Chain A
Amino acid sequence: MIAEKSQVTRQLMEGLQKLSSKIAFIPDEEIVSAIRQLEEKGLPNNKHEDYKYCNIESFIRREFKTLDQTFNPLDLKVIEAYKLEDAINLVVLNGNYSEALSEKVIAKGITIKSLNEITSSEKNYIASQAKSSSDSLIALNTVFCGNGLFFKVEKGNVIPMPVHIIYLNNNSAPSLSNARNFIHIESGAELTLIESFINSGGGKIFSNYVSEKLVDENAKLTCYTFQNEGPLSYSVHTNAVKVNTYAHYSNTTITLSGELVRNNHNIELAAASCEAHLNGLFITKGTQLVDNHTLIDHQMPHCESNELYKGIANGKSIGVFNGKIFVRKDAQKTNAYQSSKNILMSDDATINTKPQLEIYADDVKCSHGTSTGKIDMDALFYLKARGIGEENARKLLLQAFAEEVINKIEVDSLKERVLHLFEKTL
């Protein structure tokens, strides 16, 4: 088993080594530690507690026997279709930030550049939150990442327009992309950030995203993650966030497609009196697997966290929610809430949930609740009795179920897009 495990990882590493160039923006010792992690631990499989319901290694073994890394020339129309009109659109193509495809930003106080261009002081931030030793997929990204995006909002600047990063993969044969970014919101600044994940090529893609976000004192970062990568896509999204005093971070993840979608949200509430809010909605069909994994690490007192995750599973799909609230000794007066609600639509679908509390401080209020069931038969009857057909009644109920999460989106154009596509998936 162990020999086999390292073989999958080795094959992958050898395939990539030929194609990758030296990464200058990540400290050498971090790259060394990443290589060590990959060699020792290999890619996570279901023997790994955090990947119990999401066997990454077997997906790679099965679907990515060879890696070609061939990418098509891009049709600009594809990009246009995904842009949001009321936002500043940036493009990350096949794991690399593309300045040419991105819109020019004229707003004051924003720094946007590729990771290759960062200064040595900015370099210190990279890999400070997403540690290779904590997860082999972070390690994989650290060793093989492309030229990512560095985004900074300077002190006290409130950006009036949302910023929209489009991650587009356009490969024709089985490929792997390792996109990476660093988002820094300096003290007192505010930003709304939308990240859309799309796949337009005709080949299978394994995309391994790592995003590090640093929210300084009094800053506010509102994120929306929109995942609609299609049936050829296998993706892991690692989102490592550090929130400082009086800062506010929120994220709403909408997952509408993707054969495998794994979201790792690691939120560090690193200073007193800060807040984090995580919301998620997924709808799956076919043989999809969507695994939402959250870790909220309460390190300091008076912090608050809130989680709401909802899922609808059709066909033979599997939906997973694993939420961990970790309250450290010093984090007195913590309020942490978590709720996960799921609907099973077919006999072959599966929902696995694991809401976890690990608490080492006594003056806290923590709770979690999870429920899984079918569509409420009484509600269905009520609608049918009023002359609404079964099909429509079901749709109405599912929409109502999903809207609790969708309504968290405050960017109109994105909300409309999500509502429209959600209805289509139903």
Chain B
Amino acid sequence: MANEILEEHIQNDYKWGFTTDIEADEAPKGLNEDIIRFISAKKNEPEWMLEFRLKAFRNWQNMIEPEWAHVSYKKPNFRDIIYYSAPKPKKELASLDEVDPELLKTFEKLGISLEEQKRLSGVQSNIAVDIVFDSVSVKTTFKETLAEKGIIFCSFSEAVQDHPDLVKKYMGMVVPPTDNFYSALNSAVFTDGSFCYIPKGVRSPMELSTYFRINASGTGQFERTLIIADEDSYVSYLEGCTAPQRDENQLHAAVVEIITHKNAEVKYSTVQNWYPGDKNGKGGIFNFVTKRGLCLEDNSKISWTQVETGSAVTWKYPSVILKGNNSVGEFYSVAVTNNYQQADTGTKMIHIGKNTRSTIISKGISAGFSNNSYRGLVQIKKGASNARNFSQCDSLLMGDKCGAHTFPYIEIKDKTAIVEHEATTSKIGEDQLFYCKQRGIDNEKAIGLIVNGYCKEVLNKLPMEFAVEAQKLLAISLEGSVG
């Protein structure tokens, strides 16, 4: 099995690297208030939404691009990006049959067959999918099934039209437009994304999933995800992404906000597989995203699980603000970098409420010429009594040209807090490799085996379908890195 995957990989380094010939409706290049008005008008947005965008844009103009991350890259030219690109023809889609067949083919190549999904409806392990293609949501499956339970799962633009009260109330609550350079940019120009609302007392009967795809050249993808879990509700949310192989660097600057009310729980899993650039570090996606959850009320829980294998440069810190008493935040991450990839990723756990708990497990693997950094903040505010945090960040180095770094910040202002942090860095165990090889397992497979074992703690947290995909991805990402 692993062999087949590897062979496939040798033939085509990045198998999601195809482009789809779909005519796109694009905004002119560049960024100014007119472009923002154009996007807003195109999406038929109410006045308050335009105001939100313009305010964010005016803020953004006064902000400076952050430089503190342990990455180096050529800064994108923000005047050279197409901020709106929608697959054409765009009309109201009632059923899958109306979707552009080219688009459907793309999804089949991606391994998400909408048809199949539809047929599988009613089966236990089904997933509702919202697909975002070049910043515009093209199709959300299972909408009706979910609606019966009162769950709202739709594209962000639809939510703006159909549920303006919810959007108005929660958008920007966790990641205000002034938060940072990229969140401000996103707030000004975001074109679509996913919106999810789980009403009181509802456990989502299926996993909700969004699939992001950058297709057009010269575009940036700026989507926004907003997940709200009302009292006593539960949802597991998945996100996946790919992009075509291009020589240029494309910018992806997303914002994800999660809000949990009393006793609610959100489990957010993502497998990030944007195009990482070629072997010489040419091209690839700049992945600068802001993800943050807010445990607004007591006994709520937010859990982030991420497998990061793609992107040329990653800059991502999914965080949890533990405001409610007894709330729980979790962060499980595997970040793999190969060739010339650079990742600066980690989390922030801000403890405000009493008896709050957080767990951080981060596994970094660097190979080739890549640099992989963990950057995290654990902050126990005054009055957050009995707060508890445990962090563990391990790094695995393959080859002597790569780097692994940890930058943990720990700030404690309450004497009843207990905070622990551990980090180790080592190379892949020679004796483990020897043990495998002695039993007739070749080098590549042995590495795959050891790495998967090393990441088990995190992979176990992923939903079934994702775990399988993630394991394959790990093997492919590290192909040829040792020996």
Contacts and interface: CB of A to CB of B under 8 A. Distances in A.
- 10 smallest A-B Cβ distances: which pairs? A344-B415, A362-B397, A373-B418, A366-B425, A367-B424, A353-B410, A360-B403, A362-B427, A357-B406, A370-B421
Interface string B406-439: 1111111111111111111111000000000000
A373 B380 CA distance: 11
Given A359-B404, A364-B427, 12 more contacts: A342-B412, A350-B413, A352-B411, A354-B408, A357-B425, A362-B399, A364-B426, A365-B425, A367-B425, A370-B410, A372-B410, A372-B417
A371 B420 CA distance: 4
Given A365-B426, A371-B420, A358 B403 contact: yes
B73 interface: no
Secondary structure of the A side of the interface?
strand
A362 B368 CA distance: 11
A349 B417 CA distance: 12
Contact of B412 (A351, A356, A364): A351
A88 to B, nearest CB: 41
Nearest to A356: B407
B68 interface: yes
A366 B396 CA distance: 11
A347 B415 contact: yes
A361 interface: yes
Interface of A: 49, 329, 332, 342, 344-374
B473 to A, nearest CB: 22
B427 A346 contact: no
Interface of B: 68, 70, 382, 395, 397-427
A114 B426 CA distance: 46
Contact of A373 (B399, B400, B409, B419): B419
A352 to B, nearest CB: 5
B423 A369 contact: yes
A357 B394 CA distance: 11
A331 to B, nearest CB: 10
B422 A359 contact: no
Contact of B424 (A49, A360, A366): A366
Contact of A358 (B405, B414, B420): B405
Nearest to A369: B422
A348 B418 CA distance: 15
A2 B187 CA distance: 30
Nearest to A360: B403
Contact of B409 (A345, A348, A352): A352
Contact of A344 (B404, B405, B417, B426): B417
A332 B424 CA distance: 16
Nearest to A324: B407
Nearest to A349: B415
A361 B422 CA distance: 20
A307 to B, nearest CB: 13
A355 B427 contact: no
Given A356-B407, A369-B421, A370-B420, A362 B415 contact: no
A370 B393 CA distance: 12
A373 B424 CA distance: 21
Contacts of B397: 359, 361-362, 364
A368 B403 contact: no
B424 A371 contact: no
A361 B70 CA distance: 17
Contact of A354 (B409, B417, B420): B409
B368 to A, nearest CB: 11
Nearest to B383: A347
A372 B412 contact: yes
Contacts of B412: 342, 344, 350-352, 372
Contact of B419 (A346, A360, A368, A371): A371
A363 B427 contact: yes
A352 B422 CA distance: 15
A318 to B, nearest CB: 9
A364 B397 CA distance: 9
Contacts of A362: 397-400, 402, 427
Nearest to A334: B425
A361 B411 contact: no
A342 B402 CA distance: 33
Contact of B417 (A346, A368, A373): A373
Contacts of A351: 410-412
Nearest to B385: A347
B378 to A, nearest CB: 9
Contacts of A373: 417-419
8 contacts: A344-B412, A356-B405, A356-B408, A357-B406, A359-B395, A360-B403, A363-B427, A364-B397
A371 B414 CA distance: 14
Contacts of B425: 357, 359, 364-367
Contacts of A369: 420-423
